[in-house]
Structure 1
Amino acid sequence: MAAATRRYDRWYAVKVLIIGGGQVGESIASDLAADHNVTVIDQSSDRAEELAYAHDVLTVSGDGTDISTLEEAGIEDADMVIASTDDDETNIVVCSTASAIGDAFTIARIKQTKYLNTWEAPEADRAFGVDNMVCTNLLTAQSIVRIVGLPAAVDVDPFAGGRVQMAEFEISEQCPVVDQTVEEADRYDSLTFAALVRDDAVVIPDGETRIHAGDRVVVIGSHKSVHNFADALEPAHATGSDEEVVIFGGSEIGYHVARLLGKRGFTPRMIEQDPDRARELAEQLPQAQVMESDATDMEFLEREHIDEADVVIAALESDEKNLLVSLLARRLGADRTVATIDTPSYVDLFQTVGVDVAINPRIVVAEEITRLTQSDKAENVALIESDKAEVIEIEVDADSVLAGRPIRESVADLPAGVVIGAITRNKEFVTPRGDTMIQSGDHVVLFVDAAAIEETTAKL
């Protein structure tokens, strides 16, 4: 996905207009309300009133494609317009209208990649009058693909052009690092144990902090070190493109997962019930094996040896079916299950009953849109557990508190809850240690607890 051409400083209160007060719009409004002047348009007057009460934002009830509704919401003075309804065409029309009558930076949430392809085409400069398009299906597929091949990983994000990775791992009773201290578990030269998420709280560890079963460990390091750590957590399932991956459902998300995995050298198997869709997918995905069948047919699953799968991905059109096939796959003996879930409140439920990783497309796209509104100092941002912390990549300038000082000194001037996880200099990885000197021009990846984000950003 193309990057935004402009950003607004997170801490400068701009006027943000959000069209669509559903789950995505509400999540964005909640994240931005503290630091921006936010107005939300929703067709339902009851929903608009609910959002105003819950998040202390201005609301307007009406049709977001109606010019009078947009004018009532102050579109002419808006600095940023975020179209986040469930309809692609509506979002594009809203952004096009905003571009025609004002100077707002526009972000359109879309599902279908055909609009993204048109927008990204070199000959279609700023197509539709949209400054940035955020594609739900593609972002979700990318999130799934990043965790395939990393045993126990529940989230993975790249930084510094892929030279640095942040990964979050679920620690099970069987993991070799259970009950070890961080010092005992840290056997990797280019890996930083940035944080533990324990009982919904963020713990910044030191060498004596003990790792418990049920913890989620956030590590930042080189691509090789993160993968080596993943392999150590699940030594029986070393990472690699020879992993057996099965995708249930030839949805748009399932298609993109298979396509992206194929680019990485995987040969996934896809199960799609509709014969016409299965035939279409077989033509479009030569690197995948497409099978026409009902994903809940136990005889078929046993015959196709789903029990031998390293990863099963449920990308059907129904939450209930995704839960069912995930549980069937685990019962048959598949190692890991990843399921897409349309209802955010189901995420914890799915993981409680046995799904290893539950990914909600609405949460994924809301986090991406929120990321685009982050501080202009940040090159890249990843959210931890939606709102508990952030991992931020910055390019250090001469005025930064980090520049020209060893890490142990500069960190002392930052608030509690900040960990320097990685440094790249001239595109080379530099392992951060207490006496490492940070130079102007370095790219630094930091873990920042939510409570420390504002103060940290101001000093960087």
Structure 2
Amino acid sequence: MRVVIVGAGEVGSHIAASLADSHDVVVIDIDSERVEQMNYSHDVLALTGDGASLETLEAADAASADLLIASTDDDETNLATCGTAKALGDAFTIARVKHVGFLRTWERSRGTFGVDFMVCSNLLTAEDIVQVIGLPAAVDVDWFANGLVQMAEFELGEDSPLLGRTVSEADQFELLTFAAILRDDAVELPRGDSKLESGDKVVVIGTPETVHQFAQRAAPKAAAADTETVFVVGGSEIGVQVARLLQTRGIKPRLIEQDPDRAREVAEELPATLVLNVDATDTSALDRENFGMADTVVATLDNDQKNLLVSLLAKRLGVDQTIAVVETGAYRELFETVGVDIAVNPRVVTAEEITRFTREQTTEKLAFIEDDRAEVLEVEVGGESVLVGRPIRESIADLPEGVVVGAIARAGALVSPRGETVIEPGDHVVLFVDETVAAEVTATV
């Protein structure tokens, strides 16, 4: 497939890296330094120019492209790029936008702006945040098989009762699979005698009920606390969308916004949310609102430094869980190292969503673990799949090392994937796959 990507920032370069191995990729950016770096670091053809201009797209031969992805940081540029691409040829167009208003317009009339598929960074980021709030002990959560299967990643803290135990001792649930242990920079496929250590990140796949039960064992204090009190700090669009999504789950969040005019706008937009017009660094005002007793604080202010400050202040005041939006991808690890529980980067979330969409022909659903160190994917297996017709312990031997069968959904019910389990044609199989063998596995199953 021939793919043209407009925008070589964090989103565009992330997508290019994931597609370059199996597709013919052309990247366009107005910044010549970025273009030079792309040509040096990725197996792509990178060109300098304005991706919204007819001349630049003609130079990139966008008329013969199968797919065009507009991923710059400017919504209007991305929409104009897709419209221009449609004037040149028949490429399927994907536009990245930040503002939910553009998405709502497009949803009302798909194809508007010359866009075939639209991805909204602010809404995706809010959805990512709210998913994690739903399972307080987890650092990453995703769903498969129409909600039958949940994947969750847990970091084992120093007080976890599972430390020093083996996987076989920790795995006490019939419909739960230990998919991986992430330790330092390594991805380890767990064996029964694998011992769990402080700082390990454990990926489990199972029913929502068994995942929650595992959370109670891995982090009893966090998992036992019902998420009732949530503060959203910042009336940004991400903050407003987080509050709106929480409302739909029956949680009435409190939103802190320092600007009185913006606070009034948000209060009118979200009648079920208590909007507080205070400074999020004013500890006296926060004490009056019982900020330190919150179950979760979500920092969605307009820059990374403010979000870090608010998150660390919240932890100091006693908040159980802190989630911060971080716009600079390089800062994510720093945020979590200094004490923020979960750092969410809108650009990474967006790039992953676009990459998922480009691979829908081979997978039903795709999730990324730890910035592409591994993938969890759902496939509907046909009669010719190497997984079908034999016990899993035999069929898995025909796949490269680095694959775990995490769950099997059959006729609306979950089947426990043990060594003797036989996968049948039409089953939806959820696989944990090491990134180094992902392309080979996708082509095989």
TM-score where L is the length of structure 2: 0.97
Other-structure match for 1:72: 59
Q: Deviations over 1:361-396 (max 9, x none)?
A: 111111111222226220010011112111010011
Rounded Cα–Cα distance in structure 2 between residues aligned with 1:405 and 1:240:
43
Q: Deviations over 1:253-276 (max 9, x none)?
A: 111111111111111111111112
Rounded Cα–Cα distance in structure 2 between residues aligned with 1:185 and 1:46:
50
Which of 185, 189, 197 aligns to 1:204? It is 189
- The 8 Å contact of residues 390 and 422 in structure 2, kept in 1 or not, is answered as yes
CA 1:240–1:214: 2 relative to 1, 3 Å: closer
- The 8 Å contact of residues 81 and 104 in structure 1, kept in 2 or not, is answered as yes
How far is 1:241 from its partner? 5.9
How far is 1:72 from its partner? 0.3
Rounded Cα–Cα distance in structure 2 between residues aligned with 1:454 and 1:237:
36
User: Matches of residues 339-358 of structure 1 in structure 2 within 5 Å?
Assistant: 339-358=324-343
Alignment pair present for 1:381 and 2:361: no
Other-structure match for 1:46: 33
Alignment pair present for 1:226 and 2:211: yes
User: Matches of residues 32-431 of structure 1 in structure 2 within 5 Å?
Assistant: 32-121=19-108, 124-238=109-223, 242-374=227-359, 376-431=361-416
Rounded Cα–Cα distance in structure 1 between residues aligned with 2:4 and 2:241:
31
SS in 2 for 1:116: helix
SS in 1 for 2:220: coil
SS in 2 for 1:437: coil
How far is 1:242 from its partner? 4.6
Rounded Cα–Cα distance in structure 2 between residues aligned with 1:230 and 1:99:
48
SS in 1 for 2:27: strand
Alignment pair present for 1:451 and 2:436: yes
Rounded Cα–Cα distance in structure 2 between residues aligned with 1:396 and 1:240:
39
Rounded Cα–Cα distance in structure 2 between residues aligned with 1:237 and 1:398:
43
Number of residue pairs aligned between Structure 1 and Structure 2: 445
Rounded Cα–Cα distance in structure 2 between residues aligned with 1:151 and 1:105:
39
Q: Give unpaired runs (5+ residues) of structure 1.
A: 1-13
Bigger mean CA deviation after superposition, 34-43 or 203-212: 34-43
Q: Give unpaired runs (5+ residues) of structure 2.
A: none
- The 8 Å contact of residues 150 and 239 in structure 1, kept in 2 or not, is answered as no
CA 1:368–1:242: 2 relative to 1, 3 Å: closer
Rounded Cα–Cα distance in structure 2 between residues aligned with 1:256 and 1:69:
36
Partner amino acid, structure 2, of 1:293: V
Rounded Cα–Cα distance in structure 2 between residues aligned with 1:238 and 1:453:
32
Partner amino acid, structure 2, of 1:42: D
Rounded Cα–Cα distance in structure 2 between residues aligned with 1:138 and 1:239:
28
How far is 1:412 from its partner? 1.7
Rounded Cα–Cα distance in structure 2 between residues aligned with 1:189 and 1:258:
36
- The 8 Å contact of residues 41 and 61 in structure 1, kept in 2 or not, is answered as yes
SS in 2 for 1:438: coil
SS in 2 for 1:155: strand
- The 8 Å contact of residues 4 and 27 in structure 2, kept in 1 or not, is answered as yes
- The 8 Å contact of residues 180 and 210 in structure 1, kept in 2 or not, is answered as yes
TM-score where L is the length of structure 1: 0.94
Identity, in percent, stands at 57
